[in-house]
A = this chain, B = another copy of it.
Amino acid sequence: MTMRDVARKAGVSPKTVSNVMNGYPYIREETRTKVLAAIDALGYRMNLSARNLKSGRTGVIGLAVPELSLPYFGELADQVIMAADEHGLTVMIEQTGADRDRELTVLARPRGHLVDGLLYSPLGLGQEDIDHLKANTPMVLLGERIFHSPVDHVMIDNVAGTKAAVEHLLALGRRRIAVLGVHPGEKVGTAAIRYGAYAEALTAHGLPVPEELAFPAGRWHRSTGAEATERLLASGLKFDALLGLNDTLALGALRVLAQRGIRVPDDVAVAGFDNIDEASYSTPSLTTVDPGRTEIAKKAVDLLVRRMAGDDSDHEEIAARYELHARESTLGVH
């Protein structure tokens, strides 16, 4: 079942069928309907591999994320797929597992030419990997700003968002804010940026930065958040607030605090980052920063589509609008 069959049935050349399918303008209405009727009658579907081989286009974009099982990335992927759909594009998802080697592999081999462009949400890459980003494939980075990279970014406003959360805690009178999920030694990742913003917010208010209250967690899962919270409690250090560098960490913390009978927010106020759906439904509901997932997905896809269409103007850096959602984990129940 090929284009030739359709052409034969419609009594035109294969190229005319191709032209009809691709919206070439100079076609008589009569011819167009004949061709469309033939396509319909035969149930013809174009072989995208063949088209891609000749023309480059596949209509597929890649989305590389660390882990789909993390709600943030699941929800992001959902949005990206819907945004891509509006451009008639399909999304191929690649899981990197936040592993640097796998992240580089994705870059080096964008699925054997099967994707026209790449949306890329790196976790493990650093300044030293910038060279790898000078890809042949159009690419838009999501989430993180890798310092001084010559690539398009659609960024979470990590700094302003984190500061808003910290200032919210400070405004509630909290002074000893523990942090979950830092990555010691890391310079450019999300962890470093958010922790840096936390420190800045404290400093701006004339407060010292209590480094002993920063607890590492490599992967940002509920389980690692719970473990870090247990280490925090075991340390015996006093704290009256807890900032999870993302929501799953904070939710893991909520669990442990509840188990230990520590009241939230009375004893400890808790805040997170991401505003995943779960944050509205936990008990207590979680105060968090909405990074504008929908906007990020939409803008990133739009930008990528422009790049794929050949736009080679200077690279852009777009920051999405964040929004602080103050909920029970800091405000209490009304």
Contacts and interface: CB of A to CB of B under 8 A. Distances in A.
A47 B53 contact: yes
Interface stretch (A24-32, A106-114, A143-151, A300-308): A106-114
Nearest to A94: B90
Interface string A64-77: 00011111011101
Interface in A28-75: 43, 45-50, 52-53, 58-60, 67-71, 73-75
> Which one of A47, A67, A278, A280 has the highest number of Cβ atoms from chain B below 10 Å of its Cβ?
A278
Nearest to A225: B281
A280 B222 contact: yes
B95 A111 contact: no
A255 B277 contact: no
Interface in A70-122: 70-71, 73-75, 77-78, 81-82, 90-95, 108-109, 111-114
B113 A47 contact: yes
A67 B58 contact: no
Contacts of A221: 277
Interface in A108-142: 108-109, 111-114
Contacts of A47: 53, 112-113
Contacts of A59: 112
Given A50-B53, A81-B93, A114-B114, A69 B75 contact: yes
A69 B60 contact: no
Given A47-B53, A68-B74, A95-B78, A281 B60 contact: no
A81 B95 contact: yes
Copies per assembly: 2
Contact of A45 (B52, B113, B277, B278): B113
A110 to B, nearest CB: 9
A240 to B, nearest CB: 20
A255 B328 CA distance: 12
- Best-surrounded residue of A48, A68, A77, A108 (most CB of chain B within 10 A): A68
A68 B77 contact: yes
Interface string A174-188: 000000000000000
A27 to B, nearest CB: 22
In the complex, which of the residues A69, A93, A109, A259 has the most CB atoms of chain B within 10 Å of its own CB atom? A69
Given A48-B114, A112-B46, A69 B255 contact: no
A19 interface: no
A49 B58 contact: yes
Interface in A278-333: 278, 280-283, 285, 333
A222 B281 contact: yes
B109 A45 contact: yes
A23 to B, nearest CB: 17
Q: Which 5 A-B pairs have the closest CB atoms?
A: A74-B74, A48-B112, A49-B52, A69-B78, A258-B283
Given A69-B74, A222-B278, 10 more contacts: A49-B49, A49-B50, A49-B52, A74-B74, A77-B93, A90-B94, A222-B277, A251-B278, A258-B283, A259-B333
7 contacts: A43-B108, A48-B112, A48-B113, A69-B77, A81-B93, A92-B92, A282-B282
